[in-house]
Amino acid sequence: MSPMKIAVINSNLNAGGKTAVLHGALLDCCREMEGVEPLDVSLASTSLPHCDGARCYQDPGVIELTGKLQECQAMLLCSPIYNYDLNASAKNLIELTGSAWKGKVFGLVCVAGSEKSYLSALSFINSLMVDYRCLVIPRFVFAHRADFGEGNVFQETSQIPARIEQLVKAAKVLGEAVAKL
């Protein structure tokens, strides 16, 4: 049986920071899990146009990325929260590659300045669920600055690494179940 392909996407355009730490932890967890093959996608190193609803879909980078995402059974997105929503590059990614997201398992890992932004991802999640019929893993991972210590490493008391592992396990189990439908 071939391994399950899971896209692990970092939508932050800043190559460093807390979102990159979460993305790295998610990738490591996928690599360590038997039967999972991660597709590493970092929008900071991917050249994508802004969605214009027309010519953007002919862009070679969009075509290539859409094809790679289409091959995945699950999508795990890491994103910062800006202005009480996922960042604009996450939304642009969905607008450009939406056809590849249809019917996929979706999990979210996000980071915000404080715990008050916990519910800010719901409109984004609802869009994936309603527009693309994604099967959303309900226990998304939400981190904020208190989860990180100096140098953006996880605090010893942080539950984020354990939550990331739970998310990857859920993506694998649900992805396998969806594949059987």
| 1 pLDDT above the threshold of 80 | no
Contact 7, 73 (CB under 8 A): no
What is the residue range of 135's domain?
4-179
Please tell me which of 9-23, 63-77, 140-154 the model is most confident about, judged by mean pLDDT.
Answer: 63-77
| 96 pLDDT above the threshold of 80 | yes
CA 15 – CA 76 distance, rounded (Å): 18
Quick one: pLDDT band at residue 179, thresholds 50, 70, 90? confident
| 111 pLDDT above the threshold of 80 | yes
Quick one: pLDDT band at residue 16, thresholds 50, 70, 90? confident
CA 16 – CA 181 distance, rounded (Å): 39
How many domains is the chain built from?
A: 1
Contact 111, 81 (CB under 8 A): yes
In this prediction the pTM is: 0.95
| 80 pLDDT above the threshold of 90 | yes
CA distances from 65 to 97, 98, 106, 169 (A): 7, 11, 17, 24
Q: What is the pLDDT of residue 15?
A: 82
Quick: pLDDT tens for 20-45. Answer: 999 999 999 999 999 999 999 999 99
Give the CATH number of the domain where residue 131 resides. 3.40.50.360
Quick: pLDDT tens for 57-70. Answer: 999 999 999 999 99
Q: What are phi and psi of 136, to 5 degrees?
A: -85, 130
